Structure 1
Amino acid sequence: MATRSIPRFDDDSVRIAALEAENTKLKRINAALIDRVERATDLQGNAFSLFETAISLEGKIRERTADLEQALGALAQSNAALAVAKEVADDAQRRLRDAIESINEGFAIFDADDRLVLCNQTYLGLWPKIADRIVPGIAFSEIADMIGKDGSMLGAMVARDRWVSERLAQRMVASGGHVHALADGRWIQINELRTSEGGIVGVYTDITEVKAEDARLRAREMAEKSAILQATLDTIAQGVCVYDAERRLVAWNGPLLTVIGLPRDGLSSIATHDGLVAACEHLNGPMQPDAPLAWLDDGVGDAVSRRQHRNGKIVEVHRARMPDGGMVMSFGDITESLRAADALRETNETLERRVEERTAAINAVNRQLSRENAERLAVEAALRDAKTAAEQANISKTRFLAAASHDLLQPLNAARLFVAALGDRRLALPTRALVRQAGSALDSVEDLLEALLEISRLDAGAIVVEPVDFAIDEMLRSMKAEFAPVARERGLTLRIEESGLWVRSDPRLLRRILQNLIGNALRYTQVGSVAVSTRTEGDVLHLEVIDTGPGIAPEHHLEIFEEFRRVGEHGRDRGMGLGLAIVQRAGRMLGHALTLQSALGEGSRFGVCVPLGTATIRTDYVAQPSRRGRLDDQIVLVIDNEASILEGMRALLEGWGCTVLCARDAAQGIIPCGEHAPDIIIADYHLDDGKTGVAAIGAVRAAAGIEIPAIVITADRTPELREGLVQAGFHILQKPVKPAQLRALISRLTK
């Protein structure tokens, strides 16, 4: 057992020891008295004296025997009380162990002497190398010393003695939380508080993800700042370079190498400040006495110097220290400016004209720069607007599909009900064939709407991934049961092997991936077989769907995962081109890699890589059998705001032998009930004027005075609505309603 404790002792053991000592003492006295009687003689030879002595000794023995019996009775009572107390203590200790083992964080309790009393498995898991030596009674100082020696803590690897002393100092305070880095890359937060008895309770929380997210945010901020700095530097005409406190080059702009005189590939030579000085001396001659490129020490203000190059070019150098100890330098070629100034001094008569020309040139440059800045800002604004428009368009598309799904599914639901009602009747063979074709067409429309809505929800992020550990064989068996009839109908062999393994994934999304892959394989395979194989590689299970179909050319491997993209004309019934798009989005959400091996004429092998999970105890539920046959004498109240739905429901249910009452809202649903309450209520969730079928069901139940079984039918597939209806005790069917599902549910609720 991971949780350990120190055995406890109480006053009962002391009391039992005292009673046993008293019992021993009484036995010794009794033996001495009997021995005395046997050896005693009357010195005068008086027989009556001997008789008196015997009588006296017999009374004393009787008293001592009574005392002994009382002591034995008290001992038995104490033993019984001790057994009860021990059982109570064991129960309390077991509950305490179970409680701390259920905590996700590491948990440890130390007594007033700072010795371990109790801990859970999570706590021991933090120190795997020394877990077997952490036992109840061990002092915390010993644990800290062992942790420092085994290298579990990053700080201990750097300076073990210092880490141990600092950890013990934190332990003495025991009034808050502190964070430590483990050697394996994890981070834990330790919260320690003193108990009323002077002990310490410690909670050890894994905050690795929090630290990683914080690091990502800081890195993003630094990247944004670097991008802003680089953009700023690139707009400056002078050459600029920035060195950090270690005198390493961290930023520069394009004109820098040109001003210094280095070739385009000469950046490596100025990677450090010393390299910059050496390169400038090599290219442009020795430094001037004022050291125009020297490093600025602490406390030195900004400096402006001029440097004369060998070729006569004069460069003005600006140096300024940064708060972090680094230095920024700018190089401006002022040769022309100086020559212009000399010329101005020599020819005063042309001074005004030259100044005007220079001013005009500067103004033109400024205007050009302003125009360029305005154009850049306009382009950036246009890009932002385009991005916003694209995001809004995507959101609008998702909202439109979600909102339109109800209106699209209403007529489809009505059509399916009418077709199902026709299918239950005796029809001529040509007519029955037409009904089957109509049902098949409705199935295709339903599949298209389902795929569109699912892609919409995946794109909008409306589906939340909920990974759990589960046995993959259960899903594979359900896939086999679902697709075996399809394979038989198409003359194909379907093989699905089981692995006996557990995986960690979201069962809904993984099931959707397998359904689409197996469905595609059966759809495009003309002859041969479709197989689902499993193999492990490390801690990953590879699920592969292998077919003997026509295969896919390598140049089409990427485009087949796009929406509405279909390659070739193979297959009995070509899909809509959405199945693999859903597979790709679901795999991306789950973080499961997808694989594809295929070539023309060689079949295809689609795979998904799923991490292995941990096996747990599971409970098998046996489905309740549904009643078959006609539903005679069942009164069904149907509430829907669409007349076509009501008519379709009436035709379908009356064909099953039900008595059908139709209503468009709660008020109409109460009136036709009369003295005979319906056996079951079927209500559409969305009614007119913002009302819901849930409220209508409540009104009918209140009027009837009984809890009538109810089914809610909705086109809304959001998990929130489904969870709310399930928690409220309603049974749910999605539109378009499948008649077989409806009949099975009615049979189960009314039997």
Structure 2
Amino acid sequence: MASETELRHQLAEREAKIARLERINQALMQRIEQGSSPQLNGVHSPFTAFQHAAVLAEQVRERTRELKHSADVSKQKALAEKMLLLQNTVDNLSQGVALVNGQGQLEVWNAKLLDLTGLSRRQLGLTNDFQACLMRSALSQPQQIFSQTRSEQKLLDGRTIAAERHPLPDAGYLLALTDISTHVAYAASLAESERWLRAITDNVPAMIAYLSANGIYEFVNRGYAEFYLQPGQEILQQHITEIHGESGYQRLQPYIAEVLNGDNVVFEITETNIQGVSRHLLKSYVPNRDSAGKVLGFFVLNRDITERKRTSEALRQANILLEKRVQERTAALSQAKNEAEIANASKSQFLAAVSHDVLQPLNAARLFNGAMLDQSLSPEVRGLAQKAARSLDDVGDLLRTLVDLSKLDAGALAAQVEVIPVDAVLKPLADEAEAMLASKGIRLRLQSSRDWIITDSALLTRILRNFISNAYRYTPAGGEVLLGCRRRGTQLEIQVLDTGPGIAADQRKSIFREFHRLPAAEHEHAGGLGLGLAIVERLARLLDHVVDVKSKVGRGSMFSIQVPRQQADQSSDRQARRDEPSVIPNTIQEQGLIGVIDNDPAICQALESILSGWGYTVVLAQNREQLVAQDFWQDRELRAVIVDYHLGADFGTDVVTELLQQRLSSAQPAVLLLTANHSQALQDQARELGFELLHKPVRPLQLRMTLRTLFSRSKSR
């Protein structure tokens, strides 16, 4: 009878063991089917380890019950080793884990749980209610753990914790805590980058979009959306046929096929905007490749050239009309030529007037700022004024560049060639570039030269600045950029060498085309639309200089431009004349009478403020009538006249020349002409009249040194 009871008892224990193993197996299968949280990419291995540890724990408990009825010492030792293995496995998990049974009691946990909750071992050891214990932890909202299967928690030290609660079949649950602070910070960084990208593209005067290889819109800027969409209409994740319609898509399909084949595509097409107005667009499709060269999608850049097209069409019609007239009367050709020359002169005058109107208020601001810097200021105010001066200088340079580029497009920009020392271009450019390159860990080396060159210094500086900008973009940290020159017969070759990735031979000509970017630039050095070298090529052609590029893939590139050299004896004479003003002006006394002629009251007030601050007596006139009415014009002590080139309907050169002829005194004042007109013709005219010329906006120090130079010349005579 006793033997039968013992058999029944063993059978009951085995059935209970089988039931427990089935319950654990069911929980593990449910966890595998659910998968892990998408927020916790990369943490599957620790959880798998924990699953293994949970099964191991159940086996250890089972063995423990068996050992209660056994005195086998070796089996107890094996149990201790398994318990130690279980704890080591759980403690090595990157997640904080807790296994809670159906009664809310904590059965298994690891040290990472303490770090992520702020609880102590003592707190966990004394509690029979894990939920109540967790409510006293450092987690920001622990109650969400029990109301939601997934939640995010904050710690006082700023860390972000992802909490996942996985129910188990016996009414218990598994809690996994993961530190996702790095993921959250990275997501915030991406969001900020996207915000800046959006702000930049929305303010670009063009329509920009990006489509996947399947024709799905993934990005559009504000200009693109306003052209094609009603307010509030959604475009992202829409197919191109949803925006252009089936017929519009069929018109674009040949170009789309071409760009998906890996080619840059530029074409013109007429489309109707959302208001129903027909506009002529210049479209550029640029493929986007991955590192293996596969086309993932393409960029779209639309520019509205309707007005330019209308002008072009008008010119075409005019040419047809001229051809007919030529056939009828050859005499009409001469008349048409004269009209074209007049139109071109009017265009140049218009650009000069625009330059004057744009730079005039900036010129006044710069002069007022210079006058303020001459006052007694506190260190804080002086620092702010100096920053304002630098900002005004930057704005002036930018406006001049934009005006010059507009003139270049209009064919109204002329090179102002002069003989200059090459170091006058290289040294300021090196000073400017050194800080920019150093910020990326790139070393700049300058190889100076005493040679003199024949060029336009401003346009040459712009070309070299673009070369250095490209070197900065493509040279990795720790690399080196060399700015130097070599003699090539009658030419001086100015070179910019970098240690970047180099350019493949089949890409070296195409990089000078508009909107062409190297494959590496599309993913590793993103930035720009590929216009820089196209502008370089046009400026070099304007200067009649030769631009070249040499490169070796994996070692770096060299961009160069050849500039005519000046003979040594002539450049030495020019050097002596150039050096003269730097010694003499400091000995000149700043006193005497100066007349200011400018039709802008703000400029007059600014010049009066800054000149009187230097010690001069200033008399103002805003037009010819005020000038004639002033007695100062016949004053023998009149030392200089500062006159604006544009005086309403009059030109400053004409006004001053006329009044100089009427002056009774034999001592003629120096004349300083201020203008925003950069034409070579005006410079030649000023040189013939003996006038000094300064371009707006004028720097106060530049004005002061010019006056000293003028007075030193008159004193030497």
Task: Flag whether TM exceeds 0.5 (same fold).
Answer: no
TM category, shorter: 0.3 to 0.5
Tell me the TM-score normalized by structure 1.
0.40
